[in-house]
Amino acid sequence: MDTGFDPLTIRADFPVLAREVNGRPLVYLDNAASSQKPQVVLEAVAAFYRHHYAAVRRGVYTLSEEATAAYEEARDKVAAFINAPDRRSIVFTRNTTEAINLVAHTWGRANVGPGDRILVTEMEHHSNLLPWMLLCQEVGAELVYLPITDGGRLELPQLERLLDGPVRLVAVTHVSNVLGTVNPVQAIVAQAHAAGALVLVDAAQSVPHMPVDVGVLGCDFMAFSGHKMCGPTGCGVLYGRVELLEHMPPFLVGGGMIERVGFTGVSWASLPEKFEAGTPAIAEAVGLGAAVDYLERVGMEAIHAHEKALTAYAMESLAALPGVRLIGPPAEERSGVIAFTVASIHPHDLAYALDRQGIAIRAGLHCAQPLHERLGLAATARVSFYLYNTREEVERLVSAVWNAQRWLAG
């Protein structure tokens, strides 16, 4: 499939991709964990520190005003990137994990009680499972699971039955970080809303890789991480409907998130400052804004099509190797994530053998231990693609797996 996309041109924007690992050109295939950074992002962060750095908000001197403008401009860029209707709906957090915990601690403790239910799926990352598990344990609510099929798809016919009860929230991943499954979030949201439940979407594996429009999805909350989308670490995003965020208590309290404090009381700042206590990750947000600019110049549709083509090619090539088992749905139903096993080789051993050949992959449980348990897997190897990966890198991967089979399996 010709996507009209030139990853070789893209690769020149990423300095780390020019290095060698163990005497071989680096092949970076761990993008579901974290992405590499283009030069424009590195330069944006460096330039901010060199020329504009100061604490944001309330400063009446030039540097503080410049830093505040850059920080808030990044918020505007993120809002436009996901088509959020109101910039106040964008809260900067450290990452997806913190964003989901914020909702669980604030909205959850104010709205979920004994006898209520939280519905999650069997394919969730721990970040979209453990906050709800702990909330249910604390308040006496019930955590229920939407099952998956052996092929890695949600058992959607069971959703209506599971929503028939006091379900307050559905927490669902847009794209599985193990299976690559792209879930029909828009349909799930519509069904949940009809049953009176809110929906939180873990978009950590979708926002960096495909066009995502919160208006089209209709979700109430959405969380994603800047470091997975060419931005710096330490800056993530919570999107929330303004009418919900306005009625939620703050997550952390301290400086920067108050309107007034007296000896006997406090009033909170307006959105989104209410949820951004302390000095925020200013330079990291500026870097995320630069990453958004970069991704928009490349084009999210083009990135998604490129990854889909790579995924189909990689799945076909890996499946042709003896002893390789691909986990999850066919290529046309997934994003650029492939989990697999190789007979007689532990995934950790495979990852080490591939690293000796300059290829970086992930091995283990990928923060999705219940999913592996459901599928009867002790661990998996995982490759994940991004805009800078190439067909030639897929071919190097397949050759390296074949070599590892000869070395390790005998």
Higher pLDDT, 236 or 407: 236
Mean pLDDT of 311-327: 98
The string of pLDDT tens digits covering residues 349-408 is 999 999 999 999 999 999 999 999 999 999 999 999 999 999 999 999 999 999 999 988
Domains in the chain (CATH in brackets) are 7-30+300-409 (3.90.1150.10), 42-297 (3.40.640.10)
Q: How far apart are CA 35 and CA 27, in angstroms?
A: 12
Q: What is the pLDDT of residue 409?
A: 67
- Please determine, for residue 2, whether its predicted confidence score (pLDDT) is greater than 60: no
* 235 belongs to the catalytic site: no
State how far the alpha carbon of 236 is from the alpha carbons of 65, 77, 93, 177, in Å: 23, 13, 5, 17
Closest to 78 measured CA to CA, from 290, 297, 301: 290
Q: What is the pLDDT of residue 3?
A: 52
Tokens matching residue 291: 């990453």
Which one from 136, 219, 230, 367 is the annotated catalytic residue? 367
Does the predicted TM-score (pTM) go above 0.95?
A: yes
Query: 336-371 in b/e burial notation, b at 16+ Cβ within 10 A?
Result: bbbbbbbeebebebbbebbbebbbbbbbbbbbbebb
Q: Which residues contact 46 (CB under 8 A, 6 or more apart)?
A: none
Q: How far apart are CA 146 and CA 142, in angstroms?
A: 13
Q: What is the pLDDT of residue 59?
A: 87
The string of pLDDT tens digits covering residues 120-133 is 999 999 999 999 99
Helices (H), 320-346: none
The string of pLDDT tens digits covering residues 264-275 is 999 999 999 999
- Please determine, for residue 1, whether its predicted confidence score (pLDDT) is greater than 50: no
Tokens matching residue 278: 């302390």
Q: How far apart are CA 303 and CA 227, in angstroms?
A: 17
Q: What is the pLDDT of residue 4?
A: 63
